[in-house]
Structure 1
Amino acid sequence: IGCPKLDEGDYTEKLAEIIRRNNIRSVMVVRMEVPCCGGIERAVRQALIDSGKMIPWQVVVLSTDGHVLED
């Protein structure tokens, strides 16, 4: 759980290390439709690349009122 706009730092390195050191089989990103939440999606994409593991991942986009817009 995180907010790329309000949290300090970048998630990419930490996520890459978690993926690299563990037997993660897939990743699901659940984010809101607002543009700033795209940062967490980009961080996960880059973390997967940086980890050297290409595992399945998906993104679910929620509206600001909680409805699923994309999955």
Structure 2
Amino acid sequence: MTENSLAFQTITSARQWHTSSYTHEEAACVEVSEGPVTGVRDSKNRDLGALFFPAAEWAAFVRAARQEQI
């Protein structure tokens, strides 16, 4: 295991992740870990890693996505 992969495992496992309320057995959804830096990962492929965004950027994305649904 490389130093980078060990650091990644430590960062992602120490976070509290939650899935979308739309997630169910057949769905391919995301998990989110909110905080000063928001993490996003695939709920079906957690080992592939996560993307991390500043909280303000994630909040702007969520606002824009909600507006698109209206």
Above 0.5 in TM-score?
no
Which fold has the larger relative contact order, with Cα–Cα distance below 8 Å and residues 6 or more apart in sequence? 1
Query: Which TM bucket (shorter chain)?
Result: under 0.3
Larger radius of gyration, structure 1 or 2?
Answer: 2
TM-score (norm 1): 0.23
What's the TM-score once normalised by structure 2's chain length? Answer: 0.24
